[in-house]
Amino acid sequence: MGKYLTSTIIAAVAFAGICIGRKTVVKSYLEKEGKTVIKSEIRHFGKDISINTLRKNCRKITSTRLKSSIRVVSSSDRKLLKQMGKLVPYGNDGINGEKWTLSQIAKQPLYPKVITNFKNYCAKNSISEESMNSILKDFGKSRRVDLPAKNDHVDFTGMGINICKLPSKEELITHLGGPKVIKGMTDKKLKAKIRQYHYDIARDAFAKKYKVTKDQASEIMGMLDHAPHEAENGLMQLVPNSVHNFKQYYGHSGLVSKRVAEIKEVIQ
């Protein structure tokens, strides 16, 4: 009896230790991630954003990243991510002449050739060393391989660089000329107009953040071999081109299709 009681007590203590440890890890992660998100929110969305909105966005993004982190440690997803990491993106206009795997791209998102070309571009176009280093630091940082798309939806939180917040459906309706004008557009034209507006906002945000011109911003995005990705949470991200266009695993519809459906529902 004493033997079983001792075993039970040891098991209970071990279980309690695991629970406390998990809570400590999660709390530590949230505190660290929260601080990172706050800095990121202010940097990307501007200091004029209200405290309440800031807190709301922080909670939402932190929650997303926490869930993503928890998924990574699950046995099935860990196995899947390990397999994904060994894949070499190819086809569908994906640029990957170096034949790097997803893990290699995640660890070093900028190819050496890309860095050299970018530095030469900065020298020829009078872009300050401060701006150049800031861009290289942000886009060259190590990232994480993302899980494949599911039901035409993909989350590039691990691979993407946040550039700016994109307009809501209400803002889009106003910008596009109102319900009457939009009703006269085909779905194809509406998508093109929304994407054009999104890209313009992204170029402007990139230019302001890194102190370059809007035209330079557009050229640099392409030079860094990153593709614009309109995330479904309303953020414009830049994702390594070879990853974004790896349609076999990351094929997705994205925010534009979502906005078109939302706008058509509103203006009916």
Q: Residue 89 pLDDT more than 50?
A: yes
Question: For the whole model, what pTM was predicted?
Answer: 0.71
pLDDT in tens, 142-182: 999 999 999 999 999 999 999 999 999 999 999 999 999 99
Calpha distance 212→143 (Å, rounded): 25
pLDDT in tens, 96-116: 678 899 999 999 999 999 999
Contact call for residues 227 and 239 (beta carbons, < 8 A): yes
Q: Residue 230 pLDDT more than 90?
A: yes
pLDDT for the residue 10 = 60
| Burial letters 250-266, b for 16+ CB under 10 A, else e | bebebbbbebbebbeee
pLDDT in tens, 124-147: 999 999 999 999 999 999 999 999
Name which residue leads in pLDDT, 170 or 38.
Answer: 170
Mean pLDDT of 70-90: 80
Q: Residue 38 pLDDT more than 90?
A: no
- Which residues make beta-bridge pairs with 235? 165
For the chain, the average pLDDT equals: 81
